[in-house]
A and B are shown apart, each in its own frame.
Chain A
Amino acid sequence: MTDETDSPDMLAAEYVLGTLANDERTRADALRASDPRFERLVRYWEHRLGQLHAMVQPVEPPPDIWARVQARVAAAEPGSVMLPPDPERTAQAEGNVIRLHRRLGRWRRTAAGLGALAAALAAIIVTAAINPGLLPAPLRPKPVEIAKIVEAPATAGRFVAVLQQNAASPAFILTVDVASRTASVRRVSAEQQPGKSYELWLVSDRFPAPRSLGLVGTDDFARPTLAGYDPSTISDATYAVSLEPEGGSPTGAPTGPVLFAGKLVEAVPPAP
């Protein structure tokens, strides 16, 4: 094999083509995340080879996929579980937009050039804006998040999230002291599953992907560290628990179903 065919460029090309051996593919995934130069090569090949899609015959997928996509989107962002709009929810959505502001800087520049197109499209979009909340009840995603205040031995600035699937069965209780960035997770009713681990994730607008806070549920108590996050990230985030292979997600991102999720509720306001 020549040096030329052993270059990062060819690694990226074969990665995109999909022919790398499993260990090489894992390494390439890691490179993508850590080396912007490699990621650019991947993008190059994705775009070049991706032109071939034009020759693939479209196939209509089963109709129920959309409902399941919506359910998973809702589960990943319990703060915006699809329900008929209400003022509080709208305000929350606007808050999300503000938090997204920085990340969207590049988008805004692009969007500026598309102003005319946007105007032309507005009519179409309005027509298409059928509220997902109007879906027939069976199609509506099952809400997986209900956060409520529980009685906890409260100290100043302490937040609590109940991570559960339904109101009757809280699975984990997460207590966070924002000031000291310490947390504890107590398993309440989540059952141990053989060969599986529960992993806790911090989901925030500020990060493109959920951040692992470690495994929970192996003991009745776990103390995930939040030292790497600033207080506003900690208090605004959604906390989710997914079911992973034993020892945790092999990829650094949730691979199993997100079973429980919740947001922090302020149990006691910080002392003035």
Chain B
Amino acid sequence: MLTPPELVWLLAAVAKRDRAAFERLYVATRAKLYGIVLRILRRADLADEVMQETYLKIWNSAGQFDPALASPITWMVAIARNRAIDMVRKKSEVSIEEESDVLEVAADSPDPLAKREMTEELRRLLACMGRLEEERRRLVLLAYYGGWSREQLAARFEKPVNTIKTWLRRALLEIRECLGS
């Protein structure tokens, strides 16, 4: 992965329709985005389609990226996740993966880049998530990494959907309060 300033620079070039920069951006970010969407969709054909839509969107919206509001990678990750969630909600037949496999990711990553990517912001977020009740932390992680819906979470945790919604929102509210403004 390139450094954030390098990615900012590439996105600026992509906004000016620089195809070489676009290819470089793709090479630098494709494995990260594919890992994210594949984990949510769990089907290569759907993940391929979402990857295409994601990069098309990046190409078309690079001019809207605002370095004051996001880092390049969180901006691109958000586009990819958003598309993947849209897709997974439309394809209800996509089966739910074993939970342990989803959570493994968050527990311990062999990704050599992770250390470099351990930003101050990530440290703060993890500290805040660490303060959540364990079950609620698992809800948030399953939703974030696995793209689980409220219904899927409700089935897994054997709770009504409305309870899951309340738990999710309380967890998110706690995260928000912990992170401060």
Partner of A69, one of B15, B17, B55, B122: B55
Do A61 and B31 have beta carbons less than 8 Å apart? Answer: yes
Are B17 and A97 interface neighbours, CB within 8 A? yes
B69 touching A43, Cβ below 8 Å: yes
Interface residues on B, range: 35 or more
Q: State the CA gap A60–B48 with chains docked (Å).
A: 11
List the A residue with the shortest CB-CB distance to B84. A18
Given A53-B36, A57-B35, CB of A80 within 8 Å of CB of B17? yes
Q: Does A30 contact B (CB under 8 A)?
A: no
B143 contacts which of A19, A57, A68, A110 (Cβ < 8 Å)?
A19
Q: Is the interface of B mostly helix, strand, loop or mixed?
A: helix
In the complex, are the beta carbons of A118 and B9 less than 8 A apart? yes
For chain A, the count of residues having a C-beta within 8 Å of the partner chain is 67
Q: Give Cα A209–Cα B63 distance, bound, in whole angstroms.
A: 12
Asked if B134 lies at the interface with its beta carbon under 8 angstroms from chain A, I say: no
In the complex the two chains form, what is the Cα distance from A230 to B176 in whole Å? 44
Kindly provide the distance from the CB of A269 to the nearest chain B CB, expressed in whole angstroms: 28
Interface assignment of A93: CB less than 8 Å from any CB of chain B: yes
Is the CB–CB distance between B52 and A50 below 8 Å?
A: no
The answer on a CB contact under 8 Å between B105 and A56 is yes
Question: Chain B: which residue is nearest A53 at the CB level?
Answer: B77
**Residue B99 at the chain A interface, CB threshold 8 Å:** no
Q: Give, as a whole number of angstroms, the nearest-CB distance from B132 to chain A.
A: 13
Q: Which residues of A contact B30 (CB under 8 A)?
A: 60-61, 65-66
Taken together as a complex, chains A and B put the C-alpha atoms of A10 and B168 apart, in Å, by 9
Dominant SS at the A interface? helix
In angstroms, how far is the closest chain B Cβ from the Cβ of A93? 7
Does A200 count as interface, using CB distance less than 8 angstroms?
no
A33 within 8 Å of B (CB atoms): no
* Cβ-neighbour of A43 out of B20, B35, B63, B70 (below 8 A): B70
Binary interface encoding of chain A residues 202-243 relative to chain B, with 1 for a CB under 8 A from any of its CBs, else 0:
000000110000000000000000000000000000000000
A62 close to B (CB within 8 Å): yes
Q: Which residues of B contact A60 (CB under 8 A)?
A: 30-31, 34
Contacts A40-B69, A65-B30 known; 10 new A-B pairs at CB < 8 A: A10-B173, A52-B141, A54-B119, A56-B32, A57-B35, A58-B35, A100-B15, A103-B63, A107-B16, A125-B20
Chain A contacts to B: CB under 8 angstroms: 1, 4-6, 9-10, 13-14, 16-19, 21-22, 25, 40, 43-62, 65-66, 68-69, 72-73, 76, 80, 82, 93, 96-97, 100, 103-104, 106-107, 110-111, 114, 117-118, 121, 125, 128-132, 208-209
